[in-house]
Amino acid sequence: MGVVYSAQDPAIGRMVAIKSIRLGDLTDESERARLRDRLFREAQSAGILSHPNIVTIYDVSEEKSAEGGKAGDAGMAYVFMELVTGSSLDRLLAKSPPPNRQTLLKMFRETAAALDYAHKKGIVHRDIKPANIMLHEDGTAKITDFGVAKIVSQQMTQAGILMGTPNYMSPEQVQTTEITGRADQFSLAVIVYEILTGQKPFAADNLPSLLFKIVREEPTPPHQLNASIGEAIEIVLRRSLSKSPDARFETCTAFIDALETAMKSSAWVPLTMAADSTSPPPETLAETSGATATEPPPAEAVPAPEPVKTEPASAKPKRLFIGLAALLGLFIIGGGTFYWQKIHHLTPPPPPEAAATITTPPPAPSPVAPGENAAPEKAPSPAAVTEAKSPATASFRLTTNPAGADATFDGDPASRCTTPCTMVMALGRHTVVAQFDGYRDVERIFTLPDEPGLIVNLEVATGTLSVVTNPARLAVLIDGQEQTQKTPASFTLSVGSHKVEVIRGAEKQEFSVDIRDGVLTQKRITWN
C-alpha cells in the first residue's frame, strides 16, 4: 500500500505515524478518483473511533504529483495517526518462546473490546491479522489500520487485486457476501487458533486452494496439534470459526469470554509458530497484493548453508528436465490464478480428489481423455422443470425470511423464481442471488446434490447517521421519534430519507438526511 513514516508534529511536538498510500497503483483515472474519495470518507469515519485499544487517526490529506512527474505517479494520500511505541503481534509471535498466557489473554480481551466498539459505530475492520495488532511497550493492545485497510482492500479487490493476508479472511469475505462485525470475529479466532496450535487453521500451496478451504473445509482439531488444548476450548473455537456468521458468537467479547472460561479448565500452553510451508508462495502473494518488497528474515533465522555435494555428470540432464517441468508447472499455476482473479464471482476450486469435476478449463489446458472436463449441463429454466428427474439433476429448495424475494440462479434471467421455490438443476456448483426491496442483496454458492436447500435470512439495508453538536448532550428526534441517545451519538437507520430534529431548550434545528446502505453520514451542528 505504501510506506509508514515516523514524524514529529511541529505544532505541538508530538510524534505521529504517517501512512502513505500510492494512488498511482490504480492506472484507471475514474477508479483512482473513486478510491481517493472513499479513502477520505472512510478515514473520516474511522476518525470518530476514540478507544484506548484503537490507534487514533488525526488527519488525512493528499499530495498530487507535480507536472512532468514520472509515468504512473498520480500522487499520494496520507493518513496521520497515533504512533505506537512497541511491536506488532506478528513480530512477537515469530520469537521463541511466545508471549505468556496472561499477556495473550489480555491482548485477546482488549482486541475484542476495541472491535465491538467499532462495530457499534457501524465500522468493520475487514483485515484483522497479527500485523494489524500492535502491542504498546506498556502491554496495551492497539488495533491499527481501521478504515484504511477496509477501503483499500475493497477497491483493490474490485480492480482484480487481492489485498491483505488471505489466511485470515472470513468465508463471507471470500464469497463477497454481506460483511458484518462477525467477519472480524472470525479473523480474531484464526489468530487465537494460530497462537494455540502454532499453525494457521487454513493453509494451502496456492491461493485458490486456500480460499476453497476457508469456504468449505473445517480446520484440523486443535488438540491434534497441541495436546494441552482441552475439549472446551475446541468447542469455542469451532463456533467462532463457523462458516455461517449467524452461528458465531454475538460479539467478539462474548467469544473471548467463552474462550477464557474454557481455558480455565485446561493447562494450555501456546506453541511457537511453525514454518509457514503451506501458505501461498511469497511471490504469488506479492503479485496479488501489490506489495513491492518483502522484509528479509532476521539474521538468526537464516539457515547455515549445507555442504556442497557433487553429482555425476549423467545426473545433470535429468536435473535440467525436472527444472523445465517445474517452470512449466509454475507457468500453468500462474495462468490459472490470473484467470481465477478475473471471474466476477469468486468460486474456489474443489479439493484435489474432486479435480475431475472441474468444469472451468485453465487458459492453456493440456490434452485430456475424452469426456474429462466436459462442459457442464446448463441449468434448466423454470419452464423446463418437470417431476421426472434424471441422475444428472437434483432439486434445490430456496427459502428466504421474509418470503417473496426475487431469486436468480447462475446469473441467468430465465432461471428466476419467487421464494420459497424449488428448482431442478444440473449437478455441480451453482450461485443464487436473492433480492428484495429494502433488504441487502444476498449471494450464496451451493453444490448439488450435497446441498439440497438453503434458508437465507435477509438483512435490512441500513446506514449510520452520526450527529455531533456544540454544545453536547442535546436531544435528537428522528422521523418524529425521540431517541434515547444524546449528542454526540450514532444511529443505525434504514435506507432512505429521514427527518432529523435536534432540540436545545425551546430551539431546534431540522434537516433531512438520505441514508445509503453501509455508509456513515455525519452531521455537525453548532449554536452561536
* 3-class state of residue 98 by DSSP: coil
* 3-class state of residue 406 by DSSP: strand
CA-CA-CA-CA torsion sign (484, 487, 490, 494): positive
Active-site residue among 28, 59, 116, 127?
Answer: 127
Q: Is 96 exposed, middle or buried (0-12, 13-18, 19+ CB in 10 A)?
A: exposed
Phi, psi of 456 (to 5 degrees): -115, 125
Q: What's the first-to-final CA gap in the chain, in angstroms?
A: 43
Tell me the C-alpha distance between 196 and 201, whole Å.
11
Beta carbons within 8 Å of 98's beta carbon, 6+ residues apart:
92, 104, 195, 270, 271, 272, 273
| 158 and 176 Cβ atoms separated by less than 8 Å | no
The closest of 310, 301, 230, 239 to 272, measured between CA atoms, is 301
Tell me the C-alpha distance between 275 and 148, whole Å.
29
> In angstroms, what CA-CA distances link 8 with 47, 156, 336?
20, 31, 47
SS (H, E, C) 38-67: HHHHHHHHHCCCCCCCECCEEEEEEECCCC
| Peptide bond preceding 351 in cis form (omega within 30 of 0) | no
CA-CA-CA-CA torsion sign (305, 309, 313, 318): negative
In b/e form, how buried is each residue of 305-337, taking b as 16+ CB within 10 angstroms?
A: eeeeeeeeeeeeeeeeeeeeeeeeeeeebeebb
Note if 127 is an active site residue: yes
User: 282-289 vs 207-216: helix axis angle to the nearest 10?
Assistant: 80
| Residue positions annotated with a catalytic role | 127
